[in-house]
């Protein structure tokens, strides 16, 4: 039983920003049984739990190309634009991102502020 | 603009199926991630259309702001100068935001993998089309990822937000450290869904989690497997009485308390589990209390077993102490603040005993809400009343108000409603309108409705209690407990702050009992005791219950089980008792099953037993509907309700055979709840399996390879399809709640058979197949073999009057001593005023749902047959009694599920105690029913036949049961011939006994002076030396009643009767039909003779049997002979009973 514990915890993905925790089954760019699909970054991948098809996968997260922190693919934690950036790094280098992305982020910020107040 | 260009160039049409197929050949080949024809593939093309529309719109917008790109480039330059370059491309492209790429046929071809460039450039998709499609595919995949991930993120967020989440590690640690842990948390803390998951993810496997309700097992398994990301696996499963999703991979199993107890019966130590979680222990159900007791002993036996009790924050100490001070983890609930308003009902509006509830206090609250709260503020009302009658009274009044104001939709909620009607409370009301749900305490725990803001608590509950003296259930109204009161209040604060109106004073509240009375204190313990015995738990009186039931209650159950033959005199299980303990039904119904299988009457008995074990399929509300009751008429049998149920089931199976899913409509037209019929068919199957496993039924008929190969393949395909349908249904996400119409509920209960439900379901199944998937029908087809079922039904449909009589007798022997006698004045009373009496309860009436309520004449003694001999005494050959399944007192004591039976014949065949006077013209049965026979001659004949039949019946039963106990042993059973003969004898006796007699209840005074009592030497001198009915057993005087014990149930000449003094002189001349004997005999002597003297042929056969059996003893003498010491000759003689009589007679005449 104790062994089981270690086994399952050793393959757990944890987002360093939001703490999202979930077991993963593969790390890399070519998840098994995905045929012609290639990931453009090294990802933590699990089988898509919401699909009845066993061969569908779900990317949980990957590492930030700048700071190497492990982040989930959630909009609040990271974004992908040719590479993966964690939100902290995005904010640090915001000016280098195209205006489409900047505008989107600003809009999101406004919305979350409105939600809080 | 782009698309225009394309169209100019070639005839490419995105919406043409042909063009799409061509693209499918490139992107969705059978080895690609998405295959043509799959659900995802369909979704893709839907997405494609949307995406193209979106792109066109965006293209148009972006053409206006063309200068932005330059601006971007500038920004980029500026960034470069200030900070490090993170290497982003200059020009924005949405494509860069997608983190995957896909290799498809065109790319493979471009890479020159294969030489066959078969694409026809002129008609196939051009490069532009392929590029468009590829881009859309990438976006589709990305969209899909985002969708799934946001589901996951939402799930995790919700889990985190549960109050119990912060105790996650603590719980795991406690379970690791302690054998028993109590987790106490109020509604909404998430314990039921989370604790099993915490343990699962901490590495525990083989976890069982018990729930008091079947429905909770299913919904929890569904929820937890979803939350633990195992929706499509079987790591998390459930198991309830007839179904389950358990596989070898299952690590967490939700099951009912009762089922876990059954598992313990077979697997004493529950070796299959590592952790047992018992949920909702505070509800204190019978099974739960018992389960805790069993687990308590198990914990000490199995050091590796962990036990987790989960409870609301009610009486936690009790549970902790019961397990030697187990650690308690208390988790706060998640309830919004609830304002409590005490509004006691003013005295003038208090309901008096006989009157209906006054609706005014309830209406005032509705009005108050309408005044105080604007209709835009949502929030429904939940009103707790004690029972169905109260609900319909208040519903009626509220409906009038609702129709007037158009601001309310009134919905009743109780367990006798059809499931479709119950389901309505979850639907949503239109804006500006509130639901007013009027419920019994079913909404306190079993049914949880979100969106309730107002709770009205009447403070009353109807609870079942058991009167062990009258063997009667009683449904009485009580004040609720403080715990229930709080629970009801809590229902107002699940989704937001709420208000609870209590229709009693705060001082009343303070005077309430702290907790409800646990079930174990309220119900008959027969089944429980039987189960305890079969688990080998020793003396039930010394078992350590968490809250022991009264000793008298246990004693009553033990006595009852002894009476029923389930326990022997030492309190140990008999072979029939052992069998009964395996059956998940009442002892009474279990007995019927056993008897039915012994008498080759299995098919109808299985159906009746199943029907009597589930709620009646006849919906109360629709039986008042004239259309329904007319449609039901052909199903009714005036033999009794079990026969009506049998007819109904048979008819239903026939309809299913012919029309499959059409049975739903058939049921609706008759006001039948089809769910109950499905339950019956499942239960029936379980009974059959159980009887088989106890060798009471022959094994499965050799599943002959009926039909040719093609047919078999067809069936296999059919089954596969059904399995798929079932899986699809299980994985279907909860269909959206329907919006209620304002008119809902206005037409009241009558509409239960309306078509609204049908159309609703059809809408729900948006599957496109056009077919209305009835999941019950699918499960039914999977589980049952239709042709086998039809065959079984045919057997019980063409029942002859002989079979019917026998079936009645078996039912009656099962139901005994639950008998009632019609009141002598019933013939002069109105139909609705018919009165009956049981042994312990006088003045009971027939429940209005029974066939006899509408047709009581069939119970009357036919006028032409009856002869009035006194004011109350009617002589007839056709007296009848009722055997009933339940006696339940609500506002009146009601008998339900009754069968009518011929009185004298049945009594003599099933009663535990029959006492007679000297000439047997007066019989008293079970100390309360008196039979007076006109002709002593007839009386003797009847009694004697009954004795003989019963002896044989017992023998057959013993042999058959003994045989099944030894399972498959070579011991010869009862020969077919002997059985046929017995059946024939019983049926003849039931149908053709024509004896004139009176039947009445004894008065209290008569009962007091009933027996002679133990008497002087005089009576002892009359004891014959042998008792030929039970060779070897001596006729003994009865120590209390007096007279002589002839058999275990028959005591001769113990009734205080003036004629008794002359018993010795009551000899009359009689000639035996079987031998030459002709002499004056006393009744007893005559019976003795008859029992031993058989027709010549049979005598021989009997002797052969006996000889076979006694070969070992090497006695050459006929077993019927006994050593007889004659006091007169002072000699030991070896004689048969008849010879003894003859011998004695000689002396008598010689003396005289």
Query: What string of DSSP letters covers B568-636?
Result: -TTS-B-HHHHHHHHSSS-HHHHHHHHHHHHTT-HHHHHHHHHHHHS--SB-HHHHTSHHHHHHHGGG-
* Residue B473 neighbours by CB under 8 Å, 6+ apart: B464, B465, B466, B467, B524, B886, B887, B888, B889
Spatial separation of the C-alpha atoms in residues B182 and B295, rounded to whole Å: 14
Backbone torsion region of residue B539, taken as left when φ is above 0, otherwise alpha when ψ lies between -120 and 50, otherwise beta: beta
Note the pLDDT tens digit of each residue in B385-429: 998 889 999 999 999 999 999 999 999 998 878 777 888 898 899
DSSP B1009: T
Q: How far is A81 from chain B (nearest CA, A)?
A: 4
- Greatest Cα pair distance in chain A: 53
What ipTM was reported for this prediction? 0.92
**C-beta atoms of B79 and A93 within 8 A:** yes
Residue B297: its H or E element: helix B286-301
- What mean pLDDT, rounded, does chain B reach? 82
Higher pLDDT, B863 or B30: B30
Chain A hits for B152, CB-CB cut-off 8 Å, are: 20, 22, 49-50, 58, 60
Range B836-857 average pLDDT: 89
pLDDT at B902 over 70: yes
Residue B751 pLDDT level (bands cut at 50, 70, 90): very low
Spatial separation of the C-alpha atoms in residues B780 and B652, rounded to whole Å: 13
Among A34, A59, A100, the residue with its CB nearest the CB of B33 is A34
B979: three-class secondary structure by DSSP: helix
Strands (E), B81-205: 100-102, 180-185
Chain A hits for B204, CB-CB cut-off 8 Å, are: 1
Range A68-86 average pLDDT: 94
pLDDT at B1102 over 60: no
* Residue B241 neighbours by CB under 8 Å, 6+ apart: B214, B256, B258, B259, B584, B682, B683, B686
**C-beta atoms of B149 and A85 within 8 A:** no
Range B980-1003 average pLDDT: 90
Are B162-331 and B338-517 in the same CATH fold? Answer: yes
B562: three-class secondary structure by DSSP: helix
Q: How far is B60 from chain A (nearest CA, A)?
A: 16
Q: What is the pLDDT of residue B76?
A: 52
- What is the C-alpha radius of gyration for chain B, rounded to an integer number of angstroms? 38
Q: What is the pLDDT of residue B732?
A: 62
Q: What is the pLDDT of residue B659?
A: 82
Q: What is the pLDDT of residue B860?
A: 85
Q: How far is A5 from chain B (nearest CA, A)?
A: 5
- The CATH number assigned to the domain with range B520-573 reads 1.10.10.2130
pLDDT at B1034 over 70: no
**C-beta atoms of B72 and A41 within 8 A:** no
Higher pLDDT, B447 or A40: A40
Instruction: Give CATH superfamily name and number for B338-517.
Output: P-loop containing nucleotide triphosphate hydrolases (3.40.50.300)
Nearest 10 degrees: Cα torsion B745, B749, B752, B757? 10
Percentage of chain B lying above the pLDDT 70 cut: 82
* Residue B5 neighbours by CB under 8 Å, 6+ apart: none
Q: What is the pLDDT of residue B1037?
A: 79
Residue B64 pLDDT level (bands cut at 50, 70, 90): low
Q: What is the pLDDT of residue B700?
A: 55
pLDDT at B256 over 60: yes
Residue-range domain boundaries for chain B: 2-62+93-147, 162-331, 338-517, 520-573, 578-698+718-732+747-754+772-799
Spatial separation of the C-alpha atoms in residues A93 and B71, rounded to whole Å: 17
**C-beta atoms of B149 and A74 within 8 A:** yes
Q: How far is A84 from chain B (nearest CA, A)?
A: 8
Residue B234 backbone dihedrals phi, psi, to 5 degrees: -125, 25
pLDDT at B1094 over 70: no
Chain B hits for A50, CB-CB cut-off 8 Å, are: 148, 151-152, 231
Q: Give the Cβ contact number of residue A87 at 10 Å.
A: 18
pLDDT at B787 over 90: no
Residue B254 backbone dihedrals phi, psi, to 5 degrees: -95, 130
Contacts 24+ apart (CB under 8 A), A32-37: A33/A57, A34/B33, A35/B31, A35/B32, A35/B33, A36/B32, A36/B33, A36/B102, A36/B103, A36/B104, A37/B33, A37/B100, A37/B101, A37/B102, A37/B103, A37/B141
pLDDT at A72 over 90: yes
Spatial separation of the C-alpha atoms in residues B771 and B787, rounded to whole Å: 24
Least confident of B317-326, B548-557, B773-782: B773-782
Spatial separation of the C-alpha atoms in residues B1152 and B650, rounded to whole Å: 68
- C-alpha closest to that of B211 among B133, B126, B299, B310: B310
Q: What is the pLDDT of residue B1074?
A: 73
Among B99, B146, B203, the residue with its CB nearest the CB of A39 is B99
**C-beta atoms of A66 and B141 within 8 A:** no
Beta-bridge partner residues of B256:
B211
Among A36, A98, A100, the residue with its CB nearest the CB of B102 is A36
Domain B162-331: state its class: alpha beta
DSSP per-residue codes, B740-789 = PPTTTTTTGGGGGGSSHHHHHHHHH--SSS-S---HHHHHHHHH--HHHH
Contact of B498 with B377, CB cutoff 8 Å:
no
Note the pLDDT tens digit of each residue in B196-212: 999 999 999 899 999 99
Among A20, A50, A97, the residue with its CB nearest the CB of B88 is A97
- C-alpha closest to that of B1043 among B915, B911, B907: B915
> What residue in A sits closest to B206 (Cα-Cα)?
A1
Q: What is the pLDDT of residue B710?
A: 77
Note the pLDDT tens digit of each residue in B503-513: 999 999 999 99
Q: What is the pLDDT of residue B14?
A: 82
Spatial separation of the C-alpha atoms in residues B792 and B684, rounded to whole Å: 11
Q: What is the pLDDT of residue B865?
A: 59
Residue B763 pLDDT level (bands cut at 50, 70, 90): very low
Least confident of A50-54, B37-41, B1080-1084: B1080-1084
**Structural tokens at position B228:** 């633990």
Q: What is the pLDDT of residue B736?
A: 62
Q: What is the pLDDT of residue B1021?
A: 43
Chain B hits for A36, CB-CB cut-off 8 Å, are: 32-33, 102-104
pLDDT at B1116 over 50: no
**C-beta atoms of B89 and A82 within 8 A:** yes
Beta-bridge partner residues of B276:
B208, B307
Note the pLDDT tens digit of each residue in B634-652: 899 989 999 999 999 999 9
pLDDT at B1110 over 70: no
Q: What is the pLDDT of residue B132?
A: 87
Query: CA-CA distances (angstroms) from residue B95 to B101, B442, B612?
Result: 10, 55, 67
Chain A hits for B85, CB-CB cut-off 8 Å, are: 96
Percentage of chain A lying above the pLDDT 90 cut: 64
Note the pLDDT tens digit of each residue in B289-338: 999 999 999 999 999 999 999 998 888 999 999 999 999 999 988 778 99
Among B100, B103, B145, the residue with its CB nearest the CB of A40 is B100
Q: How many CB pairs under 8 A join A and B?
A: 134
> What residue in B sits closest to A56 (Cα-Cα)?
B33
* Residue B295 neighbours by CB under 8 Å, 6+ apart: B276, B278, B307
B1096: three-class secondary structure by DSSP: helix
Chain B hits for A46, CB-CB cut-off 8 Å, are: 229
Residue B258 pLDDT level (bands cut at 50, 70, 90): very high
Q: How far is B110 from chain A (nearest CA, A)?
A: 15
pLDDT at B1057 over 70: no
Query: CA-CA distances (angstroms) from residue A2 to A5, B93, B176, B793, B939?
Result: 5, 49, 10, 56, 79
Q: What angle do CA B164, B169, B171 make, to 5 degrees?
A: 65
Helix ranges (DSSP H) in chain A: 2-10, 87-92, 99-116
Among B101, B152, B232, the residue with its CB nearest the CB of A22 is B152
Higher pLDDT, B1114 or A31: A31
pLDDT at B1113 over 60: no
pLDDT at A113 over 80: no
Q: What angle do CA B1014, B1020, B1022 make, to 5 degrees?
A: 125
pLDDT at B587 over 90: no
């Amino acid at each position: 039983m104790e062994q089981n514990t270690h086994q399952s915890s050793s393959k757990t993905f944890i987002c360093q920003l939001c703490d999202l925790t979930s077991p993963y089954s593969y790390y890399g760019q070519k998840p098994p049984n995905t045929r012609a699909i290639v990931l453009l970054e090294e990802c933590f991948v699990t089988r898509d739990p919401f699909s009845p098809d066993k061969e569908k996968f779900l990317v949980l997260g990957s590492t930030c190309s700048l700071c190497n922190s492990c982040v989930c693919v959630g909009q609040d934690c990271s974004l992908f634009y040719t590479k993966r950036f964690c939100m902290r790094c995005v904010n640090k280098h915001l000016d280098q991102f195209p205006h489409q992305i900047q505008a989107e982020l600003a809009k999101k910020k406004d919305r979350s502020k409105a939600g809080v107040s | 603009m782009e698309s225009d260009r394309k169209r100019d160039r070639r005839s490419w049409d995105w919406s043409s199926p042909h063009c799409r197929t061509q693209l499918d050949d490139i992107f969705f080949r059978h080895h690609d991630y998405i295959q043509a024809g799959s659900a995802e593939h369909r979704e893709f093309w839907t997405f494609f259309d949307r995406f193209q529309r979106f792109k066109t719109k965006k293209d148009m917008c972006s053409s206006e702001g063309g200068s932005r790109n330059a601006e971007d480039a500038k920004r980029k330059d500026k960034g470069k100068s200030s900070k490090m370059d993170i290497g982003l491309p200059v020009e924005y492209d949405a494509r860069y935001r997608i983190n995957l790429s896909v290799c498809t046929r065109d790319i493979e071809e471009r890479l020159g993998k294969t030489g066959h460039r078969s694409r026809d450039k002129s008609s196939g998709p051009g490069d532009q089309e392929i590029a468009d499609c590829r881009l859309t595919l990438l976006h589709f995949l990305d969209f899909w990822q985002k969708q799934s991930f946001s589901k996951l993120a939402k799930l995790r967020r919700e889990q985190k937000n549960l109050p119990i989440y912060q105790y996650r590690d603590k719980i795991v640690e406690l379970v690791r450290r302690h054998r028993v842990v109590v987790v106490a948390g109020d509604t909404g803390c998430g314990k039921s869904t989370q604790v099993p998951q915490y343990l699962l993810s901490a590495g525990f496997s083989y976890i069982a989690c018990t729930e008091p309700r079947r429905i909770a097992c299913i919904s929890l398994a569904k929820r937890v497997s979803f939350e633990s990301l195992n929706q499509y696996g079987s790591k998390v499963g459930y198991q309830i009485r007839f179904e389950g999703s358990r596989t070898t991979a299952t690590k967490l199993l939700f099951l009912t308390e009762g089922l876990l107890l059954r598992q313990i019966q077979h697997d004493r130590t529950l070796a299959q589990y590592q952790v047992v979680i018992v949920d909702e222990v505070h509800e204190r159900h019978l099974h739960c209390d018992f389960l805790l007791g069993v687990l308590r002993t198990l914990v000490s036996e199995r050091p590796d077993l962990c036990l987790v009790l989960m409870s609301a924050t009610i009486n936690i100490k009790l549970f902790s102490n019961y397990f030697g001070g187990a650690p308690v983890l208390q988790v706060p609930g998640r309830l919004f603040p609830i304002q409590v308003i005490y509004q006691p009902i003013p005295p003038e509006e208090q309901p008096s005993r006989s009157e209906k509830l006054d609706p005014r206090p309830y209406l005032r609250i509705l009005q108050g809400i309408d005044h105080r709260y604007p209709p835009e503020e949502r929030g429904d009302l939940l009103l707790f009343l004690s029972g169905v009658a109260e609900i319909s009274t208040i519903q009626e009044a509220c409906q009038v108000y609702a129709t007037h104001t158009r601001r309310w939709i009134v919905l009743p909620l109780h367990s006798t409603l059809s499931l479709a009607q119950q389901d309505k409370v979850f639907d949503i009301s239109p804006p500006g309108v509130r639901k007013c749900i009027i419920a019994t305490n079913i909404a306190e725990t079993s049914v949880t409705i979100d969106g309730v803001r107002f709770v009205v608590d009447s403070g009353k509950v109807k609870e079942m209690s058991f009167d062990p003296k009258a063997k009667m259930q009683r449904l009485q109204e009580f004040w609720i407990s403080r715990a229930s009161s709080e629970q009801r209040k809590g229902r107002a604060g699940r989704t937001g702050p709420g208000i609870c109106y209590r229709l009693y004073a705060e001082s009343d509240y303070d005077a309430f009992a702290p907790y409800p009375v646990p079930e174990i204190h309220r119900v008959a313990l027969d089944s429980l005791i039987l189960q305890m015995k079969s688990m080998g738990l020793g003396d039930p009186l010394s078992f350590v219950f968490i809250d022991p039931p009264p000793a008298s209650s246990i004693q009553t159950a033990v006595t009852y089980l002894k009476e029923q033959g389930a326990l022997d005199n030492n309190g140990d299980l008999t072979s029939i008792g052992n069998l009964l303990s395996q059956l998940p039904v009442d002892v009474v119904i279990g007995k019927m099953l056993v008897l039915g299988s012994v008498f080759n009457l299995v098919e109808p008995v299985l159906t009746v037993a199943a029907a009597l074990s589930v709620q009646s399929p006849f919906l109360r509300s629709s039986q008042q509907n004239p259309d329904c009751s007319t449609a039901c008429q052909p199903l009714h049998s005036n033999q009794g309700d079990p026969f009506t149920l049998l007819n109904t089931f048979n008819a239903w199976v026939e309809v299913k055979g012919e029309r499959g899913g059409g049975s739903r409509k058939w049921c609706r037209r008759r006001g039948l709840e089809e769910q109950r019929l499905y339950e019956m068919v499942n239960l029936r199957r379980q009974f059959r399996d159980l009887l088989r496993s106890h060798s009471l039924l022959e094994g499965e008929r050799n599943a002959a390879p009926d039909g040719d190969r093609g047919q078999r393949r067809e069936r296999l395909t059919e089954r596969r399809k059904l399995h798929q349908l079932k899986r699809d249904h299980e994985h279907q996400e909860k269909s959206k709640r329907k919006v209620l119409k304002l008119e809902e509920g206005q037409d009241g209960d009558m509409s239960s058979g309306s078509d609204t439900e049908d159309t609703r379901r059809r809408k729900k199944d948006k599957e496109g197949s056009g077919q209305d998937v009835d999941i019950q029908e699918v499960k039914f087809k999977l589980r049952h073999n239709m042709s086998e079922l039809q065959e079984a039904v045919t057997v019980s449909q063409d029942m002859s009057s002989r079979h019917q009589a026998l079936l009645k007798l078996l039912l009656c022997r099962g139901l005994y001593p639950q008998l009632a006698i019609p009141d002598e004045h019933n013939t002069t009373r109105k139909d609705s005023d018919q009165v009956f009496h049981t042994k312990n309860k006088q003045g009971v009436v027939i429940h209005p749902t029974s066939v006899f309520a509408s047709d009581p004449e069939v119970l009357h003694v036919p006028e032409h047959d009856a002869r009035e001999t006194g004011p109350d005494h009617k002589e007839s050959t056709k007296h009848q009694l009722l055997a009933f399944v339940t006696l339940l007192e609500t506002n009146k004591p009601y008998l339900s599920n009754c069968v009518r039976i011929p009185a004298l014949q049945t009594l003599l065949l099933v009663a535990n105690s029959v006492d007679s006077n000297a000439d047997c013209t007066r019989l008293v049965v079970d100390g309360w029913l008196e039979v007076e026979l006109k002709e002593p001659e007839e009386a003797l004949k009847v009694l004697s036949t009954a004795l003989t039949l019963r002896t044989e019946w017992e023998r057959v039963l013993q042999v058959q049961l003994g045989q099944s106990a030894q399972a498959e042993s070579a011991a010869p059973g009862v020969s077919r011939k002997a059985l046929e003969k017995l059946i024939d004898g019983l049926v003849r006796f039931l149908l053709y006994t024509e004896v004139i007699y009176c039947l009445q209840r004894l008065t209290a005074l008569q009962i007091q002076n009933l027996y002679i009592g133990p008497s002087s030497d005089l009576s002892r001198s009359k004891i014959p030396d042998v008792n030929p009915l039970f060779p070897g057993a001596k006729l003994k005087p009865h120590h209390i009643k007096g007279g002589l014990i002839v058999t275990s149930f028959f005591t001769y000449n113990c009734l205080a009767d003036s004629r008794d003094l002359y018993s010795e002189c009551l000899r009359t001349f009689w000639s035996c039909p079987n031998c030459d004997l002709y002499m004056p005999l006393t009744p007893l002597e005559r019976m003795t003779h008859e029992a031993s003297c058989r027709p010549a042929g049979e005598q021989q056969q009997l002797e052969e049997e006996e000889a076979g059996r006694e070969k070992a003893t090497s006695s050459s003498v006929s077993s019927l002979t006994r050593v007889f010491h004659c006091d007169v000759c002072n000699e030991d003689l070896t004689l048969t009973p008849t010879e003894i009589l003859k011998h004695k007679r000689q002396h008598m005449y010689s003396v005289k």
